[in-house]
Structure 1
Amino acid sequence: MVATIAITFLGTASAQPSSTRNHSSLALRLDGHVWLFDCGEATQHQVQKSNVKMGKIQKIFITHTHGDHIFGLLPLLASRLNGAGGMVEGVEDPRIQNTASSSIIEPIEIFGPYGTRAYVRSGLKYTYTNLGGPYVVHELRMTNDPPPSEDSSTLSLDHAELLTGRNIVQQADGTWRDIFASDMLTVSAAPIHHSVPCVGYVVHERPIPGKMNPSMYVPHLKRTGTPMSVLRQLQRGETVQLSDGTVLQGPERRPGRKIVILGDTYDPSPIVPLADDTDLLVHEATNAHLPSVDPDTKASDTYKSVEECAKSRGHSTPQMAGAFAKRIAARRLVLNHFSARYAGDDDSNEKAKKVMNALRCLAEEMFGEGKEVICARDLMTLNVEPRE
């Protein structure tokens, strides 16, 4: 069981950053480890302002290769892996000797759609960046991409990139299941509809121990002189047979937590088979019609026209996000990826607070009365608690 699962939003803007919102990125904190989802421009600055530790970043999941979701990847890699611009002629850079040849350093793993590997290689090569630690890129290949045997880059590996990068093929249902799996967590993915190839990710905690009621077991342990340490086995759901033949069964395991993190999308339907019954859904809400709240609302706009405009650019409105949250029976919905016209300082700015409340209400109308909707802002942290 993962003791702590928390999300810190490092950037919540769409397209252009603003003085109150940075480009897209969020950090999923899993006990002492950190996984980033997207890495827009200046993400490393946001990390420095947050409770996220740069040295704890282990994996980076890219939803799509639009600049506002990936332009911060190379600078962050350089900082995380002690990169530098090389040495003067005739002096050998020690980073080149100590990087990929080291079996001790755990590589940074990068997952993303076709082209992610080419972007990283090109950026490192043409900025003359030597990394002091290894990385590996796994590409999620869609059916219309080149064959998995083909690399997305014509450049060869540099000293820091490991040979173990996979080209992961879609399964029959169009998803990529278990692109990462450990004893405690799995990560799966699916394509979602945007203006370019885009991916949504599902982080799923494996079943966790059920709630323990020691009073059910202690009398039996005392009666048979069994050490109380057996309670730990029972807490894990194991079966224990006592000296008198009594069999004690630990509580049934509970479903683990599930987090769905979508990239930009006007229709995330392909991820439904993976996303059902999620604890937390992060869904974009780029545009909205706020006639009584937003003074910049055009007289010709309607809810329908704004939605159609958002869809034409590959994006969603709060109502679309709320409807999808209801469709997958989400427990909480976090709206993210806001237009630059929607300020992110709603904790201190009354106008921004009014706008965010209006956006929240639009999503709630579709999600359902009493359902929790949160409007993300930069450096906000949300905990995902275990299910009862």
Structure 2
Amino acid sequence: MSAGRRVFSSLNITFLGTASAQPSSTRNHSSLALRLGGDVWLFDCGEATQHQIQKSTVRMGKIEKIFITHTHGDHIFGLLPLLASRLNGAGGVAEGVDDPRAQLSDFSNPFEIYGPLGTRAYVRNGLTYSHTLLGSPYVVHELRFPSDPPDGDFTSLPLHASESPHGRNISQSDGVWPSVYEDDAVSVSAAPILHSVPCVGYVVTESPVPGKMDPKKYIPAIKRTKTPMSVMSRLQQGESVELADGTVLRGPPRKPGRKLVILGDTYDPSPIAGLAYRPDLLVHEATNSHLPELDVNTKAEDTFEIVEARAKSRGHSTPQKAGAFAARIGAKKLVLNHFSSRGKDHYDSHRGTSWERISRRNRVCS
């Protein structure tokens, strides 16, 4: 990598919504914002996500990508209104008046949406039938399962005026999607996870970062050969530098970047275990719990085993199942989300959004 590539001092996660099925007075529908330097990526976009953004420190204009785990409404019903706000959307204009936004021609840098089959149709149909025009282009890339139809995308409508024609259908390789997105600073891979409908878990991996450098190790040789001190920047990036006298200085080896695993709804995420091994942070759902002291609707005959079986039958997990998976893959930190409305909320998401800062210094969240 070149010396000028992006390096993130910290990665920040903001939980915009952690409710399952129905929102409550204190929990919004599912959405998570990942801040990578100045950019923001959303994972899922449930109803009223843009309201939560307005109450948080996340800036709407910094959102560059949205990753959808599955097309259940509590994970996708906020996508269209957020897209309209982010891309300067509006309704149709009066008859006979041309709106330049309806005839976009530059699709070189579209807003990117990733999701399973159905995501493209949902966005295209929703924008078309609501007569929404966008001021900037978007593109939908779909992660295709082997069981998906080989052709088509669940809609017969033509491309929306703002939709880039370059949306990819990303096929699996050995049961996973090893390269969903990649640039010089970060990559995204994905795998199916088991739920009641096709569902995806995402793995965000930072590129290797510069190792710790001791300037005292290099400065004497640099000064002795009257080499410009500017070579220190190359050494910091792990490169080798040959001095005038033939001496070769080697920068410190790079160390692995941080790794985040963000799962959608699941009763068993085993298919992603290989990609997800030893993450700095695992975000895992815990929809149901056996908490009779908090859940007034707990039945007298309910036990931990009954609650876990009920959760699995509906495609969901318990904290114990999440913890077992975290231990299996060696996660350094586990964060639970997607909570049932049956339990009393002990965190008021309207008073402030929960966040985690993934620090490079101690390699865990602080």
TM-score by length of 1: 0.88
- 1:238 is matched with which residue? 239
The structure-2 alpha-carbon separation of the partners of 1:307 and 1:123, relative to structure 1 and needing over 3 Å to count, comes to same
Q: Give how far 1:347 is off.
A: 7.0
Aligned residue for 1:231, secondary structure, equals: helix
Dislocated runs of 4+, deviation >6 Å = none
Which one-letter code corresponds to 1:235 in the other structure?
Answer: Q
Contact 2:282 2:335 in 1 (8 A): yes
Q: Give how far 1:343 is off.
A: 4.3
Q: What CA deviation, in whole Å up to 9, does each residue of 1:41-87 have, x standing for no partner?
A: 00011111111111111111000000000000000011011111111
Q: What CA deviation, in whole Å up to 9, does each residue of 1:120-146 have, x standing for no partner?
A: 111111111111110001111101110
Q: What CA deviation, in whole Å up to 9, does each residue of 1:230-283 have, x standing for no partner?
A: 211111001112222222111010001110000000000000111001011000
Correspondence 1:55 to 2:61: yes
Which one-letter code corresponds to 2:134 in the other structure?
Answer: L
**Residue from 157, 160, 164 that aligns with 2:159:** 157
Q: Give how far 1:4 is off.
A: 2.9
- 1:166 is matched with which residue? 168
Correspondence 1:77 to 2:83: yes
Separation of aligned partners in 2, 1:162 and 1:35: 19
Correspondence 1:29 to 2:32: no
Separation of aligned partners in 1, 2:244 and 2:233: 18
- 1:280 is matched with which residue? 281
Separation of aligned partners in 2, 1:212 and 1:341: 52
- 1:386 is matched with which residue? 360
Q: Give how far 1:226 is off.
A: 2.2
Q: Give how far 1:179 is off.
A: 1.1
Correspondence 1:67 to 2:73: yes
- 1:102 is matched with which residue? 106
Aligned residue for 1:133, secondary structure, equals: coil
- 1:370 is matched with which residue? none
- 1:115 is matched with which residue? 118
Which one-letter code corresponds to 2:83 in the other structure?
Answer: L
Contact 1:24 1:69 in 2 (8 A): yes
- 1:181 is matched with which residue? 182
Contact 1:16 1:340 in 2 (8 A): yes
Separation of aligned partners in 2, 1:298 and 1:239: 67
Q: Give how far 1:227 is off.
A: 2.4
Give the number of equivalent residue pairs: 355
Q: Give how far 1:103 is off.
A: 4.8
Aligned residue for 1:327, secondary structure, equals: helix
Contact 2:186 2:204 in 1 (8 A): yes
Aligned residue for 1:309, secondary structure, equals: helix
- 2:4 is matched with which residue? none
Which one-letter code corresponds to 1:49 in the other structure?
Answer: K
Contact 2:27 2:348 in 1 (8 A): no
Q: Which runs of 5+ in 1 are unaligned?
A: 349-376
Aligned Cα RMSD in Å? 1.6
Contact 1:10 1:378 in 2 (8 A): no
TM-score by length of 2: 0.93
Higher helix share: 1
Correspondence 1:124 to 2:145: no
Give identity over the alignment, percent: 67
- 1:263 is matched with which residue? 264
Separation of aligned partners in 1, 2:347 and 2:324: 24
Q: Give how far 1:378 is off.
A: 6.5
Separation of aligned partners in 2, 1:281 and 1:316: 14
